[in-house]
Amino acid sequence: MSKVNSLLSRRAVLKAGALVAGAFALGLPATRIVRAEGSSPTGSNATVGKQLGFRYDQGKCIGCRRCEAACQIQYKWEKGVKWRKVLKKQIKNSKINESVNNFIYLSMSCNHCAEPACVSVCPVGAYQKRAKDGIVVQDPTKCVGCGYCVVACPYHAPQYGEGSGTVSKCSFCAKLQDNGQKPVCVAACPVKALTFGDLAELKKTSGTVAQVNGLPSPELTKPSLVIIPKESK
């Protein structure tokens, strides 16, 4: 209900402010609009129900990309679209010379954020944050292909496919999970670097962080990803 009320007040503020004070006065209502936007209507769901998340252990990851491949095989990504990416970076001042340890990796998909930008910007409401587990699912049959989610997601999770003219993204294998199965990426990881579970539990793992290696601030969307950084150098 507060959603409806706040929208009305936003509009009222916008209109009143605009008429009275003209162009310059609009700076003020705009502030209110942006702030109201921050309090996402879906944010409340995340606190009520469980929030599932990924845990990624940079020290364990061997960069085999099986998580990526398993996802690609399962969901047959269209050309130019990647639901999960394994990012790679060479460590410069590494004291360890074995080739396998000279890189750091980061396997990333959609982070099923607590305050997902995609959910709030999508004009057609193709995105839903599930109340029961906090998974952000997207319905490609609703997508008009406007690309707003593509620019709004700090993690580049929604991916636009030129072929289909629609956006798609990681669903956390919501359908498989509903049948009691694991996400395919997690199941494919040979070294258990990528795991998943209740975010509150995952956060209790010692040494986890939400931001490493230049990732965007977790304050933007509150991602459901915990990372155990590599003890390097």
Partner 1 sequence: MGKWGWLLAIYLFLGGIGAGAYLSSFAAEKGLIGDASSLKKTGYYISAPAVAIGALLLVFDLGQGLRKPWLILGMFANVSSVMTWGIYILSAFILVGLVQAYFVWKDTKAPAILTYAGAVLAVGTMAYTGLLLSVVKAVPFWHTNIMPVLFIISALSTGLSATSLLAHFLEKGEVKEGRVCQTHLGLVSSEIIVLTIFFGLIFSGSLGPMAVLSAQKLFYGSLAVAFWVVLVSLGLVGPFILYAKNAYNQRKYVSLAVSPVEALNLAKKEQAATGTQAKTAICICDGAVMVGGLALRCVILFAALPVWNTTLS
The contact set with partner 1 (CB under 8 A) reads 3-4, 7, 14-15, 18-19, 23-24, 26-27, 30-31, 33-34, 37, 40-41, 85, 87-89, 104, 106, 117, 119-125, 142-148, 150-156, 160, 164-167, 213-217, 220-221
Q: Residue 213 — left, alpha, or beta (φ > 0 → left; ψ -120 to 50 → alpha)? A: left
Instruction: Say how far apart CA 119 and CA 111 lie, in whole Å.
Output: 13
The residue type found at 102 is N
Nearer to partner 1, 156 or 192 (CB): 156
**Using CA of residue 103, residue 109, residue 113, residue 118, what is the dihedral sign?**
positive
Nearer to partner 1, 146 or 187 (CB): 146
Nearer to partner 1, 33 or 176 (CB): 33
Instruction: Say how far apart CA 38 and CA 107 lie, in whole Å.
Output: 27
Nearer to partner 1, 6 or 74 (CB): 6
CB of 146 to partner 1, least distance (A): 6
CB of 222 to partner 1, least distance (A): 12
Nearer to partner 1, 51 or 159 (CB): 159
CB of 90 to partner 1, least distance (A): 10
Task: Produce one character per residue of 18-31: b if its CB has 16 or more CB atoms within 10 Å, e if not.
Answer: eeeeeeeeeeebee
Burial of 81: CB neighbours in 10 Å, binned 0-12, 13-18, 19+: buried
CB of 152 to partner 1, least distance (A): 5
CB of 98 to partner 1, least distance (A): 20
If we measure between CA atoms, which residue out of 209, 59, 222 comes closest to residue 154?
222
Nearer to partner 1, 44 or 177 (CB): 44
- Reduce the DSSP state of residue 225 to 3 states and report it: strand
Other CB atoms within 10 Å distance of the CB of residue 186: 20
CB of 37 to partner 1, least distance (A): 5
